[in-house]
Structure 1
Amino acid sequence: MRFVIDGDGSPVKQEVIELAREFSLPVLIVTSVDHFTTKEYPDFLTFIYVDMGADGADYRIVKEIHDDDLVITQDYGLASLLLGKKVRVFHHRGTEYLAETIDGLLTQRYLSGQMRKAGKRTKGPKPFTQADRDEFTAKMRKVLRDGLMKEQ
């Protein structure tokens, strides 16, 4: 088991790194070269950099994924692709994407895009707060503990 993060714009990278350290799990962050960093990270963290452009990181994640990975993304399209591979996928607010609800999310995304094309305004996401970070960490900690108990 490892964490895989869709790194372009993920606000919970540090929280995932801390959880990975706590549970002795590796982390893979896939991100565009726009986000290249020389910052020092722990040895259990690996970066894969992809070319700039639409969906480059998404396609690489699909290519790199393993059955027992936990993926963090806010991209409904990527979540949909991964659910078809039986991978557990989570939003950065801690909500797990499910096969039963992904079609509704994709439809909502499509309709919002159509409204924007027509010149109408749509609501953006709420600001990401420390409370959101804490909730994400608590939810992921429970997922990890439950998963470890099943393995025993």
Structure 2
Amino acid sequence: MKIWIDADACPVVAKDLICKTAERTQTQAVFVANQPIKVRKSPLISMTVVPSGFDKADDYIAENVAEGDLVITSDIPLANDVLDNGGQVLTPHGIIYDANNIKQKLNARDFMDTMRSTGMLDLTQMGGQKPYSDKDKKAFADGLNKLVR
């Protein structure tokens, strides 16, 4: 098993938990982003910088994930691709995506995207992403411990 991290939008607290888990379990972790980020120095932890551009990090992860690997991402289309390739998916908020819930999430995401693009959804009325809470941190740590042994 390898842990792949969609690092551009992953909270710092989650990144630290991933590094600790990788070292504790002797599991390789690969952070993927459009620009370098600081990662813990360890032979198990690496940083891959992909070219700038829309979904380049997602594409890299989807192309390189192997069956049984774990991907940390909030990106629904990437999660769907990973599951199609036999991987596992955990969001930084501790949600585990699987065959039972990903299609519903993908459909909801596509619906909201359509609403935004047609102007039917007023983006100024949306509150944006909530701050990363202690509850999120605990849910993520629990999910990570469940999936990486």
| Pairwise TM-score range, normalised by the shorter structure | 0.7 to 0.9
Runs of 4+ that moved beyond 3 A: 37-40
Following superposition of structure 1 onto structure 2, how do residues 38-117 of structure 1 map, counting pairs within 5 Å? Answer: 41-117=41-117
How far off its partner does 1:82 sit? 1.0
**Is 1:142 aligned to 2:134, yes or no?**
no
Q: How many residues align?
A: 143
| TM-score, normalization by structure 2 | 0.86
Unaligned stretches of 5+ in structure 1?
146-152
2:28 matched residue in structure 1: 26
Q: Distance in 2 between matches of 1:100 and 1:60?
A: 25
SS of residue in 2 equivalent to 1:4: strand
1:15 matched residue in structure 2: 17
1:149 matched residue in structure 2: none
Name whichever of 19-28 and 133-142 sits farther off. Answer: 133-142
SS of residue in 1 equivalent to 2:41: coil
Question: Could you tell me whether the CA contact under 8 Å between 2:37 and 2:47 is conserved in 1?
Answer: no
CA offset digits 1:84-106 (Å, max 9, x no partner): 11111111112111122212111
How far off its partner does 1:43 sit? 2.0
CA offset digits 1:32-87 (Å, max 9, x no partner): 12xx1466522211111101111101111122212121110000000111111111
Q: Distance in 1 between matches of 2:127 and 2:114?
A: 13
Q: What is the letter of the counterpart of residue 105 of structure 1?
A: K
Question: Could you tell me whether the CA contact under 8 Å between 2:66 and 2:86 is conserved in 1?
Answer: no
Q: Distance in 1 between matches of 2:69 and 2:105?
A: 22
SS of residue in 1 equivalent to 2:148: helix
Q: Distance in 1 between matches of 2:127 and 2:111?
A: 12
